[in-house]
Amino acid sequence: MKIRAAETIFLSLEEDIATGLMQDGTRLDEPSLCARFNVSRTPVREALEQLVGSGLAKKIPKRGCFIQIPSFRQLVEMFEVMSELEGLCAKLAARRISESQLEALELANQRCKEAIDEKDSNRYYDENVTFHEQIYQACGNRFLADETRKLRRRLRVYRRLQLRVKGRMPQSFEEHSAIIETLRNGDAEQAVLLSSEHVRVQGERFNDLLSQI
């Protein structure tokens, strides 16, 4: 129960920060958060640790935990790096992916389609993570996969929210389908191009998201 409560608190605070409901430098007061979520301090503290780990908050000794929002420039730079990492994962996967991994990738994308049909952007995000995780595993480079996961976690809330932009989920699904085809054909060059562009579009869509919040 405590783990689930902490995750719920973390996701709620994460979205409040990303959408501007909570401002940079705001102190995250434990008693107030306990009252807001009707929980004890334990899940609140766990949630704050997750925020710190995601880079959205920082702890200052003897002062407390404070919101730390990346600047727009930092976000763009992170998306640029993410696009390169995703592209490299896809490049290696095009050379190394097995038939069973391709089947798992197609299944993950089918679940993305089901999320679109349900108009559930949160489910789509979860299925999208599974889709990309299949590519990380297929690339056969654990160090690269781990570094890509780390940055994905830093950008999680922004990648999740941009799926709410009108038309983005169907477009993302079509991009997934094209990526699968390049991997099936072993076309490493095209896999890099499509996978990198897939993430760069997400960065551009962030502007659209901001205008709709």
Q: What is the pLDDT of residue 2?
A: 44
Left, alpha or beta for 123 (phi > 0: left; psi -120 to 50: alpha)?
alpha
Q: What is the mean pLDDT of the chain?
A: 90
pLDDT digits (tens, 9 = 90+) for 75-100: 888 989 999 999 999 999 999 999 99
pLDDT digits (tens, 9 = 90+) for 179-210: 999 999 999 999 999 999 998 866 555 665 55
Place of tokens 């489910």: 123
CA distance 5 to 84: 35
The mean per-residue pLDDT over the stretch 26-48 comes to: 93
Q: Which of 77, 97, 109 is nearest to 184 (CA)?
A: 97
Q: For 67-141, where are the alpha helices, taking DSSP H only?
A: 72-96, 99-117, 121-138
Instruction: Report DSSP state, residue 97.
Output: -
Q: What is the pLDDT of residue 1?
A: 39
Predicted model pTM: 0.80
57 three-state secondary structure: strand
